[in-house]
């Protein structure tokens, strides 16, 4: 898997998946009655956000949309909290599916793979507080301020979603800074832990993708 992700990113000279995105500063604010114990994700925090299309298809085609959040230095210098979600569904069975979306407010988001929180197996998710389907990527890249809000939520493998925090998007990040954001699902802490074999494979895959991009950039500079 590592070789696949490294080769794909090197060939595309971008992320193998979610190659095109827009970055924003943001702010997390705890929701009223928020579920406790989700580390930095349930606190008042300044964050970095990247919205992206998973396959990089033309804008007129539906594509799974990604919502990635970083709480910088959440657990000490250089120890970030990253949360990566993709357009999905709210019912229990659908929470593990990647679904094509028409815009960034079209479908709810889910981590798809589980975490362990306070001894319980959970999924984290988000839903936009705006009309569907929401803006497409080209429009977001033209905005100086994101202007979108999302409600972060947590749910068990069964049962309903509970509020966690509200995410508000602020100023758009420079494209170069957005490209340098190397999100990694293994960047987590504060009692929030990844669960299962697939999650253990994700860290090496993401790092291999970053290595492939770095190699492509080095080749481009030497040309």
**Per-residue pLDDT tens digits for 113-140:** 999 998 899 999 999 999 999 999 999 9
Calpha distance 158→69 (Å, rounded): 24
Cβ neighbours for 147, distance < 8 A, ≥ 6 positions apart: 169
Cβ neighbours for 13, distance < 8 A, ≥ 6 positions apart: 213, 216, 217, 220
pLDDT value of position 18: 84
Could you state, in order of their start, the residue ranges of all structural domains in the chain? 20-196
pTM: predicted TM-score of the whole model, two decimal places: 0.85
> What superfamily in CATH does domain 20-196 come from?
Catalase core domain (2.40.180.10)
**Per-residue pLDDT tens digits for 47-104:** 999 999 999 899 999 999 999 999 999 999 999 999 999 999 999 989 999 999 999 9
**Per-residue pLDDT tens digits for 174-220:** 999 999 998 999 999 988 999 987 777 666 655 555 554 554 444 54
Which of 11-20, 129-138, 165-174 comes out lowest in average pLDDT? 11-20
Q: Are strands 120-128 and 115-117 parallel, antiparallel or unpaired?
A: antiparallel
pLDDT value of position 217: 47
């Amino acid at each position: 898997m590592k070789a696949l992700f490294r080769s794909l990113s090197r060939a595309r000279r971008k992320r193998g998946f979610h190659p095109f995105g827009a970055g924003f500063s943001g702010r997390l604010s705890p929701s009223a009655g928020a579920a406790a114990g989700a580390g930095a994700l349930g606190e008042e925090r300044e964050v970095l956000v990247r919205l992206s299309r998973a396959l990089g298809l033309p804008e007129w085609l539906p594509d799974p949309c990604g919502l990635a959040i970083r709480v910088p230095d959440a657990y000490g210098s250089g120890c970030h909290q990253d949360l990566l979600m993709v357009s999905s569904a709210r019912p229990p069975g659908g929470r593990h599916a990647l679904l094509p979306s028409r815009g960034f407010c079209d479908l709810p988001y889910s981590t798809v793979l589980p975490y362990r929180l306070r001894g319980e197996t959970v999924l984290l998710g988000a839903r936009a507080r705006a009309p569907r389907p929401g803006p497409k990527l080209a429009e977001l890249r033209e905005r100086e301020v994101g202007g979108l809000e999302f409600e972060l939520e947590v749910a068990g493998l069964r049962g309903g979603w509970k509020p966690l925090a509200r995410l508000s998007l602020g100023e758009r990040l420079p494209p170069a800074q957005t490209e340098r954001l190397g999100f990694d699902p293994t960047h987590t802490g504060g009692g929030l832990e990844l669960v299962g074999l697939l999650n253990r494979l994700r860290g090496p895959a993401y790092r291999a993708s970053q290595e492939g991009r770095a190699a492509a950039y080095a080749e481009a500079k030497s040309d």
